[in-house]
Amino acid sequence: MSDTYQHRARKRFGQNFLHDAGVIHRILRAIHPKAGEHLVEIGPGQGALTEGLLDSGAKLDVIELDLDLVPLLRERFGDREGWSLHQGDALKFDFARLSDRPRSLRVVGNLPYNISTPLIFHLLSHAERIHDMHFMLQKEVVERLAAQPGGGDWGRLSIMVQYHCRVEHLFNVGPGAFNPAPKVDSAIVRLVPHAQLPHPAQDVRQLERVVREAFNQRRKTLRNTLKGLLDATAIESAGVDGSLRPEQLDLAAFVRLADQLASCTPEGARDER
């Protein structure tokens, strides 16, 4: 880092910089980067993880929004082989630009918490290029990602992410590992896109629709929440008990409802066999 420039963490960019060497090593061990791999780091900040990622000999693209961090990052890593900096918003970044090979990108980041959910959804739209993802997120978000049916954490985020990925909650990180310290606990999660979807939907947009509608009012029965999309007979035809609440349904059941919806909408009718 430059001796002359002291970067002040900016709240609007979600800047909580990692400074605990033990936590940094633990994250790098979990990622286990290797020479020949293609890594993408979102929000390198001052480079807490970047250094270790590059030391592995892997190719590394970093995407950083804060213009003020660019000179600092260039000074620190500009001459390292395989390192490229993209200044801009990761939410708008076209990840397909980086690789056209399936399952080739390993995406990592201590993510700004304010964009973590939309960013994960954006990355899922490129899931076929991604080998795996390791993220630091709010612990509460990781619990929702890794949730199982039946509990209060199971919802839209768990279902849509688990549709595309295997989710592993690896370990928790306390506020003291960051500067400035956030007000909440954090956790590291590993997301691995499925090579083959375990429960493929005819049309994933119908799955998004049915899940969003179902969890709009999570305390009501499915028969009630899904009234605008599917009637009681259609719910029953999907093999789902309409008197259950949405949090009691697993992914496979939501996919059956989505397929039922696809078969009764003009858009979905195209997929009907």
CB neighbours of residue 11 within 10 Å: 10
Least Å distance, CB 1 to ligand SAM, is 12
Q: Rounded to an integer, what distance in angstroms lies between the CA atom of residue 135 and that of residue 190? A: 7
Closer to ligand SAM by CB, 2 or 243: give it.
2
In the complex with ligand SAM, the residue whose CB is nearer, 188 or 257, is: 188
Nearer to ligand SAM, 43 or 268 (CB): 43
Residue 142 or 147 having the CB closest to ligand SAM = 142
Q: How far is CA 52 from CA 33, 127, 155, in A?
A: 9, 25, 35
150 or 180, CB closer to ligand SAM?
A: 180
- Residue 133 Cβ vs ligand SAM, minimum distance, rounded to whole Å: 14
Distance CA 169, CA 131 (A): 17
- Give the integer Cα–Cα distance in Å for 58 and 104: 12
Q: How far is the CB of 51 from ligand SAM (least distance, A)?
A: 11
What residue is closest to ligand SAM based on CB? 43
What single string gives the DSSP state of each residue in 211-251? HHHHHHTTTS-HHHHTTTT--HHHHHHTT--TTS-GGG--H
d(CA 199, CA 197) in angstroms, rounded, equals: 5
User: Which residues of this protein are in contact with ligand SAM, per CB under 6 A?
Assistant: 13-18, 42-46, 48-49, 63-66, 69, 89-91, 110, 112, 115
CB of 74 to ligand SAM, least distance (A): 14
Smallest gap, in angstroms, from Cβ of residue 100 to ligand SAM? Answer: 22
